[in-house]
Amino acid sequence: MSDDKSTSLVNLGDLSKPANTLIEKVSSAIGGIFEPWQIKRVAKAEAEAGLIRAKTEIEITDLHRRAMHRFVEEEANRQENMEEITRKSLPHLAEESNPENMENDWVTNFFDKSRIVSDEEMQSIWAQVLAGEANTPGSFSKRTVNLLGDLDKRDAELFQTLCRFGWIFGKFTPLVFDTQDKIYNNLGINFASLSHLDSLGLIQFGGVSGFNRQRLPKNFSVSYCGQVLPLTMNKETDNTLSIGKVLLTQAGQELARVVKVPGVDGFYDYVKEKWKAHIPSDEST
């Protein structure tokens, strides 16, 4: 960040009403985050003034001075991270969004966890969570935000890869039938990686038995990346269907909402083969 340029969101030009409301909400909740001019320069000037005042009371050593400058640099970087995450969230706000309805405690906790995030890709995930909560308050629990704060970039990338196998089955459901199949292993999804995601609290991994959807009707449809697959079960009601070895936790479901990833080539046909006993005759080819 250059000392000669402002990083403030007030320099973004004309903003929509939801964007302005979000900026005001964030500023109110965590105490004036968006000062209008040259955050780092102001912080440094205030620090230097503090040092001058302190000299009248104590002897300022080089150690004290280095500690003060380190503190200023860290806080300026955190300020930049918070502003950048908020800036990235603005394009994801819905026109009908009313960020004023967000809970102050949620906003405070969100920035307490996200202010150290400087990686652009991770900032984008945080930004979409912020926008999602602004659009629909209550969409992301504090527990999910705290879990996201514990993820490193590799964890996030692994979860995003898993989401590439996700089908819409009432709710978003990654379908992992066999952890030894190449279609999963080629992308790093295997027993070890799924066990890791389980330990993080993003999924439940049924490594041996797997999971079933129960009480299904005779006819229903599921979809993958916009491709609809009709299914026909044996009984009129109360049917059961294997959905593989992975279920998303609540936190996993919430974070999956902000994951934007492409599908996997051939996966639609792979699942179709797994469920071939339930494919109507006119859809089986």
Sorted by where each begins, the domain ranges of the chain are: 9-150, 157-283
The whole-number pLDDT of residue 42 equals 52
On the question of pLDDT at 1 being above 90, the answer is no
pLDDT value of position 59: 59
58-72, 220-234, 265-279: least confident range? 58-72
Does the pLDDT value for residue 9 go beyond 70?
Answer: no
- Give pLDDT, residue 101: 93
What whole-number distance in Å separates Cα of residue 281 and Cα of residue 285? 8
pLDDT digits (tens, 9 = 90+) for 157-201: 999 999 999 999 989 999 999 999 999 999 999 999 999 999 999
| Mean pLDDT within 127-145 | 96
Instruction: Give the pLDDT score at 178.
Output: 95
Residue 98's SS3 state is coil
For residues 229 and 226, give the distance between their C-alpha atoms in angstroms, rounded to a whole number: 10
Dihedral (CA of 206, 208, 214, 217) sign: positive
Name the residue among 197, 182, 188, 186 with its Cα closest to residue 245.
197
**Are 219 and 232 contacting, i.e. CB atoms less than 8 angstroms apart?**
yes
Q: Can you give the pLDDT at residue 241?
A: 96
State the pLDDT at residue 71: 74
User: What are 59-82's pLDDT values in tens digits?
Assistant: 567 777 777 777 777 778 888 899
**pLDDT of 152:** 94
Residue 248: phi, psi to the nearest 5?
A: -80, 140
Q: Given 3-state DSSP classes, what are the helix, strand and coil percentages for the chain, each rounded to the nearest 5?
A: 55, 15, 35
Please report which confidence band the pLDDT of residue 38 belongs to, taking 50, 70 and 90 as the band edges: very low
